[in-house]
A and B are shown apart, each in its own frame.
Chain A
Amino acid sequence: MPMVTIDGRQIEVEPGTSIIQAADRLGVEIPRFCYHPDLRPEGNCRMCLVEVDGFARLAVACATPVADGMVVRSPHTSPQASQAVNGVLEFLLVNHPLDCPICDQAGECSLQDFYMHPDYGLHKSHVDPAEKVHKRKRIDLGPRIVLDAERCVMCSRCVRFSADVSGKAELQFIQRGNHVELMAFEDRALEDPYAGNLADVCPVGALTSRDFRFKRRVWHLEHTNSVCAGCSTGCNVRIDHFQNHIERVVPRRNPSVNSSWICDEGRLSWQAAQGGERLTQPASGGGYPPEIRWSEAVKAAHELLTDRGERPLAVLGSASATNETLLLLRRYAEQAHSEHWLDFRLAEEVQLVGEREDQLLRRRDKHPNTLGAVYLGLAGARGGLPAMLEAAQTGEIGALLLVYYPPLVGEESAGVAEGIARLLANVPRSVVLTTHRLPYLQGAALQLPVAAWSEEEGTYTNFAGTVQVVERAIIPPGMSRPATAVLADLVEHQVYRRPDADAERLFAELARTVPAYQGMDYAMLDSRTATTYPPEGRMHYGQEGFAGR
Chain B
Amino acid sequence: MAKKASRVVDVRAAVDAASGPLQEAAGTLAGMEVTLRNMVRATVERKHVTIQYPEQRKPYSRRFRGVHVLTLRDDGRLKCTACYLCETVCPAQCITIEAMDVEDPTVEKAPSVYEIDLSRCIFCGFCVEACPEEALIMSREYDLSATSREPERLTYGISALTQRPEIAAYGAGFRPHMDYPLVESYLPSAVPGPDGRAKAKK
Contact = CB atoms under 8 A, between A and B. Distances in A.
B101 A214 contact: yes
19 contacts: A101-B81, A101-B85, A101-B132, A102-B81, A102-B82, A102-B109, A137-B108, A138-B105, A138-B108, A214-B82, A214-B99, A214-B100, A214-B101, A214-B109, A215-B99, A217-B87, A217-B88, A220-B84, A220-B87
A108 to B, nearest CB: 14
Nearest to A102: B108
Interface string B85-125: 10110000000000111000100110000000000000000
Main secondary structure of the interface of B (DSSP, over half): loop
Contacts of B108: 99, 102, 137-138
Contact of A101 (B83, B87, B100): B83
Interface residues of B, number: 14
Interface string A206-218: 0000000111010
Interface of B: 81-85, 87-88, 99-101, 105, 108-109, 132
A55 interface: no
Nearest to B105: A138
Contacts of A102: 81-83, 108-109
B88 A220 contact: yes
A137 B105 contact: yes
Output the residue of A99, A137, A214 with the most chain B CB within 10 A.
A214
Interface string A78-110: 000000000000000000000101100000000
Chain A at the B interface: SS class: loop
Nearest to B108: A102
A448 B100 CA distance: 38
A220 B101 CA distance: 21
A479 B99 CA distance: 32
B151 to A, nearest CB: 16
B35 to A, nearest CB: 54
A99 B107 CA distance: 11
Interface in A308-342: none
A263 B70 CA distance: 41
A112 to B, nearest CB: 14
B84 A217 contact: yes
Nearest to A210: B101
A213 B183 CA distance: 32
Contacts of A215: 99
Q: What 5 A-B pairs come out closest when comparing CB atoms? A: A214-B99, A101-B83, A102-B108, A217-B84, A102-B81
A219 B87 CA distance: 11
A219 B88 contact: yes
A213 B87 CA distance: 17
Interface in A371-427: none
